[in-house]
Chains A and B, each alone.
Chain A
Amino acid sequence: AQKVTQAQTEISVVEKEDVTLDCVYETRDTTYYLFWYKQPPSGELVFLIRRNSFDEQNEISGRYSWNFQKSTSSFNFTITASQVVDSAVYFCALSEDYGQNFVFGPGTRLSVLP
């Protein structure tokens, strides 16, 4: 069975601080996909990144970066120089097959204070 854990329920930081959101997953499959979604106060789910299990290369996109480590089953997300607009709930998710449903973690609510 697949499971996603996001141990941090809520994080508050002051603008311009760096912040890392943790994600730990469980799966029996050797092929799987990991995702991060952002849910701003308006409620929609905004796709941020997809990573497949064969690609452990870390990725950077502007102020966002992701650290995928299969050895610890983690897929952590770092925001550098946080901004107030980054305030949202962030969900990590896991899918065991292309096109299949995926399991969301419980989410981490990030508040960036001015």
Chain B
Amino acid sequence: EPEVTQTPSHQVTQMGQEVILRCVPISNHLYFYWYRQILGQKVEFLVSFYNNEISEKSEIFDDQFSVERPDGSNFTLKIRSTKLEDSAMYFCASSYGTPKFGPGTRLTVT
């Protein structure tokens, strides 16, 4: 069964640095998402992407965040200047109906 993959599995960065989290969605899926989960808390929606543009975004997804589908297979989330409170697990998902989640990238900002 096809899977959503994410790299890296764990990223440690210093406050103020830029990070790019990478995802490879399932190839025939049309909708792509990023969610985050701060440790021990619920899963929160960040952004959805369809037809090469953002279709919806949450209040969390401010100007520090951006998404891109640079080459038709990868789907990236960039955080321009990381803050301590960006430390979380970031999940990518893709769907053609029911979203399938990747294994997540744990981001630690020190």
Contact = CB atoms under 8 A, between A and B. Distances in A.
A41 interface: no
A91 B43 contact: yes
A67 to B, nearest CB: 20
A35 B98 contact: yes
A99 B91 contact: no
B43 A99 contact: no
Contacts, number: 51
Interface of B: 30-31, 33, 35, 41-45, 48, 50, 55-56, 58, 89, 91, 95-104, 106
Please classify the interface of chain B as helix (H, G, I), strand (E, B), loop, or mixed, using the class held by over half of its residues: strand
User: Which 7 A-B residue pairs are closest in the complex by CB-CB distance?
Assistant: A45-B101, A104-B43, A99-B31, A101-B45, A106-B42, A101-B48, A44-B103
Given A100-B48, A104-B44, A47 B100 contact: yes
A8 to B, nearest CB: 14
A86 to B, nearest CB: 19
Interface residues of A, number: 19
